[in-house]
A and B are shown apart, each in its own frame.
Chain A
Amino acid sequence: MSDLVVRCHSISRTYQDDSVPVRALVDVDFEVARGEFVSLAGPSGSGKSTLLNIIGGLDRPDAGTVEVDGVGLNQLSESDLSDLRLHKLGFVFQAYNLIPVLSARENVEFIMQLQGVPAGERHGRAEAMLEELGIESMADRRPGEMSGGQQQRVAVARAIVTHPVLLLADEPSANLDSTTTEELLKLLRRLNEEHGVTIVTATHDPLVMSYARRQVRLRDGRIIEDSAREAA
């Protein structure tokens, strides 16, 4: 039980788009155990981002319950959700992950700064993380001076340097070519295998899916296939 990082029970989410209701998620049950690397797959519009955002406390379901690391999100206020995101989750978005006016190093330190990690420890952890991800030579560059792949690496570094219980990555490779995507995926897999980081990504890219250990397939807001269930 305590090894479940994510527990979604019967969640639904309907958007009111131009008065036509769009059912983005329909009665979804979804669980993630600690240490898993899950890929949410499915065509565009199938509800991947919606599910990821609900898990990440950025959106709320209309029905059903969500628990992250044992904490029920339904009852939390916006401000509590904000704290939860800050202290427990790591995010990598498709784009605009980094703060343009900060260097790579400062970006990596940024969330630790929000958390109030003391300067000495912060510098040490950022340094180690940049090295670990092989981007220490980028440390003093600003995002505008880096390639897309380098930026995403910095984004991953920033997301995991705080040791989040869960890393959420929505289409992390959308703006990358296949070589760079593969490098990023190798990095994610290594973090998952060597450091035990729990990862959920959403993607429609088969390459990304192939790197995850568990594939969950969505269509029209429902889970239609889950490699974990088949194995069980």
Chain B
Amino acid sequence: MPLKLLAQLSTRNLFRHRRRNLMMLLAIVVAVAGVILTNALIRGMQYDMREAAVANLTGHIKVLAPGYLDDPNIEKSFRLAPDWQPDVPAGEVEGWAARIRIPAVIMSERETRGIQFVGVDPARENISFLGDVTLIGEGLKDAEDGRVLIGVELARQLETEVGRRLVIITQGLDGKNREAGFRIAGLYDAEGTALEKQFVFTGVGALQKMVNADVVTEVSVKLQDDALVTDDKLELDVKSRLASFFSTLDVMDWQELEPQAAAMFVYVDSAILIWFLVIMGALIFGLVNTLVTAVMERIREFGMLRAVGMKPSAVVMQVVLESTIIMLVGVSVGIVVGWLLCTAWLGDGIDLSRWSEGIEMAGMRSRLTPRLMGHDVILVTVLSLVFGVIAALYPAWRAVKLKPLEAIRR
């Protein structure tokens, strides 16, 4: 039985009932475009949350002294050779930074707060949120800069401002408390207030002098985003290279450091699939119904076709083709519409700043941009076609259930 002939019959039968099939087609287009758009928005959220988690001084991979996470202090530190470079092919790593990050107490004339005191090389911090904050006053000049950069919110709480002095107390390597005065170089305005309250920055060299030790507490590595998408083993690969270099230290990835964000990241993958299955499941009922109607009104025709010698398998194939063609057209148009919605309509993202409090808690940014991913589109296409075939099975069975003679006598 030539497939071409069957396809011709199927197409013409679809055209014969234009209105009914157009309605069905429209339903598929709306469902597919809707799924594409919501998937892209959920993906946007998913990657936002990961990026926020990673930008939160975490990086994709971090090297720490054993025990640092349980009790972060300057004793849980290590020395880094001045000419150290991660032993990783270029193009895979976006950047890396070595820092000291220790708990400290900060005091203004009026208030005292507990903070994380972070010594950084500002030139390397393009990999963290520090790279794209808005500054009031000045940033840190270099790793030896002995001034501090504090958050806008912390400055408000401490009732202080740019140019004023603050006193910071932290523990040195010898276990004794060190106290030093710092001038405020500038205030940073991060997204939300959580980071602003938590982190106070100074030059890593200056902090080393203060604690009197030539050490760092962490090396944070950020991988290339594009390389991450194309190569899902990249993270593990870089992690194991670092682990073999820093054999006495802990090398952890962002999933271990931010387990909540990581769990969310995995959960979203299944949420996308479930959402798609629910929508398609609902659609299937409509499709089965349309196909059964189409089959029943042609039952005598099917009887005649089999009476003149057409095989039952060819009849089944014809119904399956009708279903698949409708799906294929619907999915193609749906994907184009979904893509247009993602780019032309919501290409600039949705402004969520009105709900900034809640969004910050969820670890998202204030602008949600849809992220249309190739493998999501492929998944939607392939599964839709599978659904198209499944939807055809019952109608096809109805088409061949009757013996040819019974069908003709109807």
Contact = CB atoms under 8 A, between A and B. Distances in A.
A56 B303 CA distance: 14
Nearest to B310: A114
A91 B301 contact: no
A97 interface: yes
A97 B300 CA distance: 9
- Which of B13, B307, B309, B408 gathers most chain A CB within 10 Å? B309
B309 A87 contact: yes
Interface string A96-135: 1101111000000011011010000000000000000000
A83 interface: yes
Interface residues of B, number: 23
Contacts of A97: 304
A146 interface: no
Interface string B299-320: 0110111111111000000000
B8 to A, nearest CB: 8
B404 interface: yes
Contacts of A85: 307-309
A113 B408 contact: no
B5 interface: yes
B325 to A, nearest CB: 14
Contacts of B304: 93, 96-97
A79 interface: yes
B300 A96 contact: yes
Contact of B16 (A58, A84, A96, A100): A100
A96 B309 contact: no
B13 A86 contact: no
Given A59-B405, A79-B311, A114-B310, A100 B301 contact: yes
Contacts of B405: 53, 58-59
Contacts of B300: 96
B12 A101 contact: yes
A147 interface: no
Interface string B46-90: 000000000000000000000000000000000000000000000
Interface in A30-84: 53, 56, 58-59, 79, 82-84
Contacts of A91: 307-308
Contacts of B305: 99
B180 interface: no
A133 to B, nearest CB: 18
Interface string B17-46: 000000000000000000000000000000
Contacts of A87: 309
A86 B405 CA distance: 15
A102 B307 CA distance: 18
Contact of A93 (B1, B12, B403, B408): B408
Interface in B381-410: 403-405, 408
Nearest to B309: A86
B9 interface: yes
Nearest to A113: B5
A111 B301 contact: no
A53 B303 CA distance: 13
A78 to B, nearest CB: 8
B10 to A, nearest CB: 9
B16 A82 contact: no
B2 interface: yes
Nearest to A95: B300
B310 to A, nearest CB: 6
B378 to A, nearest CB: 33
A82 B309 CA distance: 5
B307 A58 contact: yes
Given A59-B405, A87-B309, A93-B304, A113 B2 contact: yes
Contact of A101 (B16, B306, B404, B408): B16
B308 A111 contact: yes
A155 to B, nearest CB: 10
A103 to B, nearest CB: 10
B309 A111 contact: yes
A96 B1 CA distance: 22
Interface string B248-264: 00000000000000000
Contact of A58 (B1, B310, B311, B404): B404
Given A101-B9, A101-B12, A116-B2, 7 more contacts: A58-B405, A87-B309, A93-B304, A100-B16, A113-B2, A114-B5, A114-B310
Interface of A: 53, 56, 58-59, 79, 82-87, 91, 93, 96-97, 99-102, 110-111, 113-114, 116
5 contacts: A53-B405, A82-B306, A86-B309, A101-B15, A113-B5
